[in-house]
Amino acid sequence: MPQDELPQYSGLVDPSGVERLGCALARLAASTGADTVLVWEPPEDLVLAHVVARELGATVARACETAGIVHMMDALPAGARVLLLGDAFRRPAVLKGMTTVTRHHGAHVVGAAVLIETAALAELGDLPVFSLLPIPADDGADLS
């Protein structure tokens, strides 16, 4: 299955599940010192972000694309330590847009937290990735 066709996890219909998953992601990403959790526009990721942010003592911010331009839907203070969050990042362009808009606001991306790793995370280079379902090295799976 191509990564851009992965089904979206919805915490909207799984309150107890999103609570457990969000707490687990927050434990993994706690070492980043993130003070802001940034999500792309889907409401499904926003529910997960609220749990992660609560556990980290952070705030939540949203990014979206309008007419091909990525922008922040919420305030992002200069110097913020930003954790990118999603159930899975399916397209590298989303990560590039989130990273670019974060830096444009004078904030710093400190890593990404996801339920499921995808190849799109390579867009982050050496930044840490925290995942509940990592991609095993050399497992032969075709995730393209």
Q: Kindly tell me if the per-residue pLDDT of 140 is higher than 50.
A: no
Q: Which long-range contacts (C-beta less than 8 Å, at least 24 apart) are formed by 7-16?
A: 8/42, 8/44, 8/87, 9/44, 9/48, 9/87, 9/88, 9/115, 10/44, 10/47, 11/44, 11/47, 11/48, 11/51, 12/43, 12/44, 12/47
Q: Kindly tell me if the per-residue pLDDT of 124 is higher than 70.
A: yes
* Residue with tokens 């949203």, as numbered in its chain: 62
Q: Kindly tell me if the per-residue pLDDT of 142 is higher than 70.
A: no
Q: What is the pTM of this model?
A: 0.87
Over residues 39-61, the mean pLDDT reads 93
User: Structural domains in the chain?
Assistant: 9-133 (3.40.50.2020)
**How crowded is residue 103: how many other Cβ atoms within 10 Å of its Cβ?**
12
Q: Kindly tell me if the per-residue pLDDT of 143 is higher than 50.
A: no
Q: Kindly tell me if the per-residue pLDDT of 101 is higher than 50.
A: yes
The pLDDT of residue 144 = 46
The pLDDT of residue 17 = 87
Write the CA distances from 17 to 12, 72, 100, 112, 114, integer angstroms: 10, 28, 31, 20, 15
